[in-house]
Amino acid sequence: MFKQIRGIFSTDLSIDLGTANTLIYVKGKGIVLDEPSVVAIRNDGGQRTIQAYGTEAKQMLGRTPQNITAVRPMRDGVIADFHVTEKMLQHFIRKVHATHVFRPSPRVLVCVPVGATQVERRAIRESVLGAGARKAYLIDEPMAAAMGAGINVDEARGSMVVDIGGGTSEVGVISLDGIVYSASVRIGGDKFDEAIMAYVRRNYGMLIGEATAERIKKEIGCAYPSKELLEIEVRGRNLSEGVPRSFTLNSNEILEALQEPLFGIVQAVRNALEQTPPELGADIADRGIVLTGGSSLLRDLDRLLMEETGLPVLVAEDPLTCVARGGGKVLDLIDERGSRLFALE
Amino acid sequence: MKKDLEQDMAQDSVRGEVTLGRMLREARERKGLTPAELAGRINLDARLVESLERDAYEGLPDAVFLRGYLRRWAPMLELDESRLLAALDRAEGPKRSERASARNVLPGTPVQMDRPRRSLPWGWLLLILALPAGYFASTYLPESGLLERFLPGQESITPVSGEPRLLPLPPPPSLGDPPPPLTPPLAEPMPPVESNATSPAQSAPLVSSAEAPVARLPALESPAEPEQDSVAPGAVVLRTSGAESWVEVTDGTGKRLVYDTLKAGAEKRVEGKPPYDIFLGNASAVEIMYEGKTVDTRSHRRASGTARLSLGK
């Protein structure tokens, strides 16, 4: 009852609760929050308090003293730490409603990976409700991504969306407001970072942190050989000497390092094409595969998929926010067309 | 070469003539590519390039796809991506709105069976307005008797446990009134109102009509006239304690003085011509005072908890 009254003073939100970043889209305002899904927890003699959220906490990753731990409550696209995720969501939802006098109680739509189990979905739903939402909807990420990319999902034509996020990559074939085929592999930006860290340790005998690996990936990472050779100078700890040293990496090395996770994504797309009904497959071959998600910004990833599948592949505009924006479109349509569409739960 | 092309197109755009198709075709020809080669670079069909160059957008994919193709072609053709996309927007603008309106009238569009829930805030507003109104109604209406006046049939429901004789709706007024010709205009429209003696709205017309039946007047006054404190001879005082009870009192002339449910803790004084015939729905909750003395109802009680007795014989 009180939630409903508070709901009058709240705005509906669409949340892309991602492994790497949490994005919040507000009806009529667009993306209002884009922060890393990181929480810094201070532990003072058994008493845990939250020190920082989002960007501030991310800067602490790997740089914390003993009594503070910077954690990422989401792993592989699902909740790894239920309690911390709830607190983080609560903080973000309040932050979005900062100007309101009343405690907000919005309707919240959360995009979940198609591979999430019922238990994981329930955990996400409970977290959102625990964070003060008056109603929680869950939608599969490929559907939200397709809508956010601007594909007309209500047509009787097949469209394939590949959403490559921080923790998972989702492949979905969509037609007539529904998901025809979907699959999720737990490969994403995080796996790219891990692969780079492992490569550097193996070939250079150097240890680098997650943040450095991410910087390398963003600056010189690529998925397909190109004529242009990029270089970056990084610092890490030399394993044999035990002291920090600086060294230079080039884009071909990173391409080599990323082979394994990239192969996983290519394989997922191939499997999807194999499983897609032929009529829809023809539509996809006609128009192409759309890439969304932050990791689709990896240089030449579309080129790699294009060469591997022989189909047109294109990156959506503003791929990072596609899922959250798509969720926002669904929220608008819920009022119009009811909540049973779009594979909502 | 690129500069020439850009200048060319800049001039065209000043004249407002440059289209996306022309931009593409000129750039492609300068690069010495066939439509099939350009399309093949991103695994597309040559027909798509041809229709784009003709500015024929019928049957082409959505804008999201076209924009994706152009972004890939722009570096190959050494064209400015933003100019290409802007040209596409100009061309797509009218087409997209046409398509949207076409979709709205499509027979296959799902028809929403549920009622839209957009009006929720208005519902709340109404509720907020209704709350004080409801409070007013529950606080003042029962006291003033207005509620019973509007819902005359309700009162016969409460008391009847075990007394089927009372079940029928209140009898027509002419049955109980010995002098029917005296009250012709008033008795007809308000048949069951006898118990609502305290309603000011109702008592006003009764009194003003002056010729109202004498037997009715005593029943009208009860709580409204506190000066009659001392118990007049022949008056009956009914007091309920703990629970409510149905009470019916008829005087010697056959006139019904009380026909009502007394709330717990209520007191009612009636005066009429003895002997009184009294019926109590919940006898254990009612105390009767007659001529200053308490009347013992225990000997009159029945198994159902009701009691019927006569006073003043």
Q: Give CA–CA dist B130/B139, Å, rounded.
A: 14
Question: Residues, chain B, total?
Answer: 313
Minimal C-alpha gap between B121 and chain A (Å): 7
| DSSP letter for each residue of A156-206 | SS-EEEEEE-SS-EEEEEEETTEEEEEEEES-SHHHHHHHHHHHHHHHH-E
Our CA-based measurement puts residue A185 at a distance from the nearest CA of chain B, in whole angstroms, of 25
Over residues B168-181, the pLDDT tens digits come to 455 454 444 444 44
Closest partner residue to B68 (CB to CB) among A310, A314, A337 is A314
Q: What are the pLDDT digits (tens) for B3-46? A: 555 555 555 444 555 788 888 899 999 989 999 999 998 888 88
Helix ranges restricted to H, B105-252: 120-144, 146-150, 173-176, 184-187, 200-208, 217-221
- Chosen from A134, A177, A287, A337 to mutate, greatest number of chain B CBs within 10 A: A287
- Set of chain B residues whose Cβ sits within 8 Å of the Cβ of A288: 42-44, 61, 65, 68-69
Cα A77 to Cα A110: distance, rounded to the nearest angstrom:
12
Mean pLDDT for all residues in chain B: 69
Provide the pLDDT for residue B151. 53
- Chain A and chain B share a number of CB contacts under 8 A equal to 64
Q: Using an 8 Å CB-CB cutoff, list residues of chain A that contact chain B.
A: 4-5, 8, 149-152, 154, 286-288, 290, 302, 306, 310-317, 335-338, 341
- DSSP for residue A299: B
Q: How many CB atoms lie within 10 A of CB B264?
A: 12
The strand pair at A47-53 and A74-75 is best described as unpaired
More reliable by pLDDT, B290 or A182: A182
Report in angstroms the alpha-carbon separations of A212 from A63, A208, A260. Answer: 12, 6, 20
- Please tell me the predicted confidence (pLDDT) of residue A219: 94
* Six-digit token string for A305: 């998929």
What does the pLDDT read at residue B144? 59
pLDDT digits (tens, 9 = 90+) for B237-251: 888 888 888 888 888
**CB–CB contact A306 B103 (8 Å):** no
Distance of CA A228 to the CA centre of its chain: 29
Distance from CA of A5 to the nearest CA of B (A): 8
- For residue A150, the chain B residues in CB contact (below 8 A) are 62-64
A151 CA to chain B: closest CA distance, Å?
A: 7
pLDDT band at B94 (very low <50, low <70, confident <90, very high): low
pLDDT class for B81, splitting at 50, 70, 90? confident
Q: Radius of gyration of chain B from Cα atoms?
A: 45
CB contact under 8 A, A314 and B69: yes
pLDDT for residue A47:
86
The shortest CB-CB distance from B67 to any of A5, A152, A317 is to A317
DSSP structural state of residue A291: E
pLDDT at position B105 is 35
Taking CB atoms and an 8 Å limit, are A288 and B65 in contact across chains? yes
Evaluate whether B223 touches B194 at the Cβ level (below 8 Å).
no
Pairwise CA distance, residues A269 & A184, whole Å: 10
> What are the tokens at A165?
């996020």
Element (H, E) at A126: helix A118-130
The pLDDT value recorded for residue B17 is 56
* Nearest 10 degrees: Cα torsion B50, B54, B58, B61: 50
The chain B residues in contact with chain A (CB within 8 A) are 42-45, 61-65, 67-69, 71-72, 103, 110, 112-114, 116-118, 120-121, 124
Mean pLDDT in order along chain A per 10 residues (345 residues): 57 87 87 91 87 90 87 82 86 78 77 84 87 87 92 90 92 91 92 96 94 94 92 93 93 95 96 94 93 93 94 93 91 75 61
Spell out which residues of chain A touch residue B81, defining contact as CB-CB under 8 Å. Answer: none
Amino acid B216: pLDDT: 47
Buried b (16+ CB within 10 A) or exposed e, B205-232: ebeeeeebbebbebbbbbeeeeeeeebe
Q: Quick check: A311 and B69 CB within 8 A? A: no
Give me the torsion for CA of A168, A173, A179, A180, rounded to 10°: -120
Q: Which of B57, B62, B104 is most worth mutating to test chain A (most A CB atoms within 10 A of its CB)?
A: B62
pLDDT confidence of residue B120? 59
Residues of B in contact with A149 (CB under 8 A): 64
How high is the pLDDT of residue A256?
95
Facing residue for A288 by CB, picked from B68, B117, B121: B68
Q: Is the pLDDT of residue B186 over 60?
A: no
pLDDT digits (tens, 9 = 90+) for B202-240: 444 444 444 444 444 444 444 444 444 455 567 888 888
Confidence bin at B182 (pLDDT 50/70/90): very low
Q: Tokens at residue A91, please? A: 């903080």
Question: What is the C-alpha separation between B18 and B86, in angstroms, rounded?
Answer: 11
